[in-house]
Amino acid sequence: MRDKNVVFPTDFSDASLQAFPHARELAKRSGGILTVLYVHLPFTDDPYSEAACSDIADHVQGFVKTRFAELVDRDDPAGPEIKLEEIRNISAAAGILEYVEDGGADLVVLGTQGHSRIARFLLGSVTEKVVRYSPVPVLTVGPGRKGYRNSPLYQRILVPYDFSEYASSAVEQGLKIARLYGARMWIIYVVEQVTFPGQIKAWQEHVTAEAPNLLEDLRRSLETELDISDVKDVEIQVQIGHGDGKAHTSICSFVSENEIDLVVMGTYGLSGFERVLLGSTTEKVIRTSPCPVMAFHKQESK
């Protein structure tokens, strides 16, 4: 988390601007540069009128410069260097990903759209595509709905774990962020009910009765697997999935109950169907988490 180029893609809407304080704080703490990225899209008003297109272009450029100046003016003197990048593409997601893949970003910070109940399950095509395809970490900041924790000063971090290599990468990144912020960190493993969705209560009772030492055994396995016994301010939690028995439900409940500021999760890689599916637990947590979520792809060895 040093010498980072933190990229903040925005259309200057309220939904996107809610992520700006997070991008600024991360760039400031990492000693990096904050790039405000605006993607110019093709005009649709009158593609056959050069005059109309010119007027619209001037209006859009003026709007971008004005809003960018507002962001810089609000910045504190000790804050990071902030610059504006304007690019053109046929879609916002394609433009952001092209910029990232050309080496222009080490971290992307995005605001998710919408305030309604339905919007919680529809990230928006731009955010969803960037999270799925970006080769660098992506931090998503949700809408300012009631109960949403939107503090960019992370003091309580949660990393879900499932013994996969992707989760191990997320733990490493979570520890780096925790050190950067001087934060406390939890690692949570959820014993998920995936076989009998109609018998959640019976399953929970069975697990509790038949395997009384299961949770403690799993906790010890996690300690051995992660080798973090000497790391301060890190706590391991093992829980039986409650509610619908799914991991994302327990993760989001833990976030609410423990006032977590940031969730750090691994995603399932960058090839084939894995690029498309992302991983249901990660995707559901991003959609429903009561706080920002940072998604990391596994770092491939070079």
> In DSSP terms, which residues pair with 188 in a beta bridge?
160, 237
Distances (CA, A) of 76 to 14, 21, 62, 150, 198: 21, 11, 24, 19, 54
116 or 279, which is more confident: 279
96-115 residue pLDDT tens: 999 999 987 999 999 886 43
β-sheet with 234-240: strand ranges across: 81-88, 33-40, 5-9, 107-111, 138-141, 293-296, 262-266, 156-160, 184-191, 234-240
DSSP state string for 38-83: EEEPPP-S-TT-HHHHHHHHHHHHHHHHHHHHHHHHTS-TTS-EEE
31 or 271, which is more confident: 31
Answer whether residue 44 shows pLDDT above 60: no
Q: What's the chain's Rg over C-alpha atoms? A: 21
β-pairing, 138-141 vs 156-160, is: unpaired
Q: Within the chain, which residue ranges are assigned CATH 3.40.50.620?
A: 1-145, 147-302
pLDDT at 114: 42
pLDDT at 34: 94
Q: Exposed, middle or buried by CB within 10 Å (0-12, 13-18, 19+), for 229?
A: exposed
pLDDT at 166: 77
pLDDT at 238: 76
Question: Are 142 and 292 within 8 A, CB to CB?
Answer: yes
pLDDT at 129: 84
Q: Supply the pTM of this predicted model.
A: 0.81
β-pairing, 33-40 vs 5-9, is: parallel
Average pLDDT on 63-71 reads 87
Top-ranked range on mean pLDDT: pick from 8-12, 141-145, 224-228, 233-237: 8-12
182-240 residue pLDDT tens: 999 999 988 776 555 555 566 566 666 655 566 666 667 777 777 665 567 788 877 76
Average pLDDT on 68-88 reads 83
Q: Which spans in the chain are helix H?
A: 14-17, 20-30, 50-73, 92-99, 125-133, 165-181, 200-210, 214-226, 247-257, 272-277, 280-288
Q: Classify domain 1-145 by CATH number.
A: 3.40.50.620
Average pLDDT on 56-80 reads 79
14-34 residue pLDDT tens: 888 889 999 999 999 999 999
pLDDT at 145: 65
pLDDT at 271: 44
Q: Can you say whether residue 129 is alpha, beta or left, with left for phi > 0 and alpha for psi between -120 and 50 degrees?
A: alpha
Q: To which H or E segment does residue 231 belong? A: none
Comparing 125-129, 158-162, 219-223, the range with the smallest average pLDDT is: 219-223
pLDDT at 260: 95
CATH fit for domain 147-302, picks 3.20.20.100, 3.40.50.620, 3.30.420.40, 1.20.120.1770: 3.40.50.620
pLDDT at 64: 87
